[in-house]
A and B are shown apart, each in its own frame.
Chain A
Amino acid sequence: MVWFEIRKVFSRTSGKTALAVMAAVLAVTCWLAVSHIDYVEEDGDIVTGIRAVRMLRRDKEKWEGYVTEDVLRSVIRENAAINASDEARSENVKEQNKAYAQKQGFNDIRDMINRAFCSFQEYYYYRVDSVTEEEVGELYGQRVERLREWLYSEEVYDHYTEEERAFLIERYETLETPFYYADSDGWQAVLYYAQTIVMIGMIVCGFLVSSIFSGEFQTKADAVFFSSRYGRSRATAAKVKAGYLTVTALYWIMVLPYSAIVLAVTGTGGGNCAIQTSFEFGKSFYHITFFELWLLTVFGGYIGWLFILTLTMLVSALTRSSVLAVMVPFIILFLPSFVDGFSALSDMLGLWPDQLLNISLAVRLFNLYRVGGHVAGALPVVFTMYVCLYLVLPPALYLAYRRMK
């Protein structure tokens, strides 16, 4: 029965079209992720793609290891030396590129210094140029100090309670230092486009699963279905299982090859580095590595797909309309953009299911919640909440559909 239900989904022209769209999205996203990395060659020319990945990896490998005070001082010295070169002082962009080409190997560490020595909400690219070798040793302390300044600033003082401020500071203070640095561009490239593939894939998959339940009514096959022996029991359960299998298979068929292809091209190095070593996640208070963030991203996306698409199927079953059902993923994805201006809803939006599809964003946000008297970041709350909510949906879907008249 499950096999027949899956065949119903994919035998339609819309099903085949959706599969073709998913394959195209996978191919384009892989290409975008790989070409996302660029490299400036010694002569100032910019290259992208596989060549850029290899060259950048070669440069960054020299800086692999713990980012100790000595390493930080070396960066300050090298940076200053390059800044003093004729290329760096030139007005010519190409000459400046040549200077930049020499900084690419330690550019990530350079960014760490910039962030630590700017105020919390600012980033000044040339801040490192004015940091002395003596000052730079305070980098890890500065990170915590900048956070503390920001938390007690007028800007956000009312937004956090004292307990929440203490929680965030504690998270910063207990982050293991010195950071271990390695080239993590491959993981960052995967993470950068993961949300694209997860979100577009979910919308396309929404078109497929939206008809699993309403299709019986649209094709007027419901009378035969429900008057059959197992119409209100096993056949309904088969629909729920077919929905689950379709969602699960398509998700992993999209996400795993995407990750494998991008990592195969860009490299898997740096997976064990804290995400705070990158520009993108430098301020995050979550103590996780790039590999762990990837795991959170793919499993978060999976839970998000399961929850949102099972909700889509529930709407399909209750309304008997694929059109209404297929709107569910759109509403969940785009509603936050419309209500973003309402500050009263900001806490709720931090728990909106779209967060699961965009874990890379969620780990950068300072959304905090009180759970059982304890302060917690949004991620564990969102994961726990939607796993629990998801577990309720399939039985609800089964019960709702088997009672259809």
Chain B
Amino acid sequence: MEIKLTDLTKKYGDFTAVDSIDMTMREGVYGLLGVNGAGKTTLMRMLCTLLKPTSGSITCGGRDIFAMDASYRDLLGYLPQDFGFYPDFTVRDYLLYIAAIKGLRPAAAVKRAEKLIDRVGLSKAADKKMKKLSGGMKRRAGIAQAMLNDPKILILDEPTAGLDPNERIRFRNLLSELAQERMVLLSTHIVSDVEYIANEIWLMQEGRIVQCGMPEQVIASMPERVWICRTDRDHASKLMRRYKTSNVKTDAQGVELRLLASERPTEDAQPVPASLEDVFLYYFGEKAGDENGMV
């Protein structure tokens, strides 16, 4: 199965949210990285048939997904960024309801819901009302609903937003388990969410995919090198203004900087292997830092 985006564009008046994207997805985990407002959610909502493109097309196995209608959505599991639910439903009832609208037969729905409740670690909270769950538990209920129909295409929009570090790690591990034998598109602005589990990274900026490939390829695509250097505080300020800085560590002896530069920024600077975070900084620059303190 193959999802193909051809010249995919979505405009809101004069604003272009998604700009002429041509991409292909097959089985595997795709990490969609970009700052807030890059167009990730718009792209995902089009993939979920919630928005129609202004131009271009999305095909699944060669057929337009909007023409496929319910048969396409039958393949789909979606966890939206703003995951809404029915606050007075218990977790179990919520999953049974979503199972019903996903077309599962009642007996199969009960089995599947119980299995997923167990798998996402919500067994003890299964009879709790959704509104009583913690943020992490709600997200786990969210991934459970997305998995109810055992989807071939799993679309997760910022699934770890607002979660504490423990929950994020737990969620990532859960996702690694669930991602096997399906196509997963995971959007995030938190690099570590996709660094270890994505087979392919898409970097999205102002509606366009500016870079894509396996994590190593994306890292290699960066024309600048990464340097670590130690200096005093006054000089550190000057370096930080001059170069993109992916990390600053201050101690009693001075400041250790992690800088992106084409040439050695100081005489004692040492080159180190680039990471995905460095790439994120390179492509999204100061904007990434301004809008996202968790990079």
Contacts and interface: CB of A to CB of B under 8 A. Distances in A.
Interface of A: 1, 4, 7-8, 11-13, 215-216, 219-235, 405
A246 to B, nearest CB: 16
A235 B78 CA distance: 17
A228 B87 CA distance: 19
Contacts of B82: 220, 223
**What band does the interface of chain B fall in when counting residues whose beta carbon is under 8 Å from A?**
20 to 34
Interface in B44-101: 45, 48-52, 69-70, 73-74, 76, 78-80, 82-89, 93, 96-98, 100-101
B40 interface: no
A227 to B, nearest CB: 4
Contact of A219 (B50, B79, B85, B93): B85
A228 B79 CA distance: 11
Contacts of B93: 4, 7
B80 A228 contact: no
Given A12-B88, A219-B87, A220-B82, A227 B50 contact: yes
22 contacts: A1-B97, A4-B93, A4-B100, A7-B89, A11-B86, A215-B86, A216-B84, A219-B86, A220-B84, A221-B86, A223-B48, A223-B82, A223-B84, A224-B80, A224-B98, A225-B101, A227-B49, A227-B76, A227-B78, A229-B74, A229-B149, A233-B70
A361 to B, nearest CB: 40
A222 B84 contact: yes
Give the top 9 A-B pairs by smallest Cβ distance, nearest first: A220-B84, A11-B88, A221-B84, A223-B80, A227-B48, A235-B101, A4-B97, A229-B103, A228-B101
A235 B102 CA distance: 9
Contact of B102 (A11, A216, A228): A228
A222 B73 CA distance: 14
Contacts of B51: 405
Contact of A234 (B78, B84, B88, B101): B101
A235 B103 CA distance: 10
B84 A228 contact: no
Interface of B is mostly: loop
A228 B146 CA distance: 9
A227 B84 contact: no
A224 B157 CA distance: 12
Contacts of B9: none
Given A8-B89, A224-B78, A224-B145, A231 B101 contact: yes
Nearest to B146: A224
Interface string B207-238: 00000000000000000000000000000000
Contacts of A222: 84
Interface of B: 45, 48-52, 69-70, 73-74, 76, 78-80, 82-89, 93, 96-98, 100-103, 145-146, 149
B50 A405 contact: yes
Most buried by A among B45, B48, B51, B97: B97
B128 to A, nearest CB: 14
Contact of B69 (A13, A228, A232): A232
A215 B87 CA distance: 11
A210 to B, nearest CB: 16
Nearest to B77: A227
Nearest to B142: A224
A8 B146 CA distance: 20
A395 to B, nearest CB: 19
Most buried by A among B74, B98, B145: B98
A11 B78 contact: no
Nearest to A13: B88
Nearest to A11: B88
A224 B156 CA distance: 11
A229 B80 CA distance: 16
B84 to A, nearest CB: 3
Contact of A8 (B83, B86, B102): B86
Contacts of A227: 48-50, 73, 76, 78
Given A11-B88, A223-B78, A224-B98, A231 B73 contact: yes
A232 B50 CA distance: 10
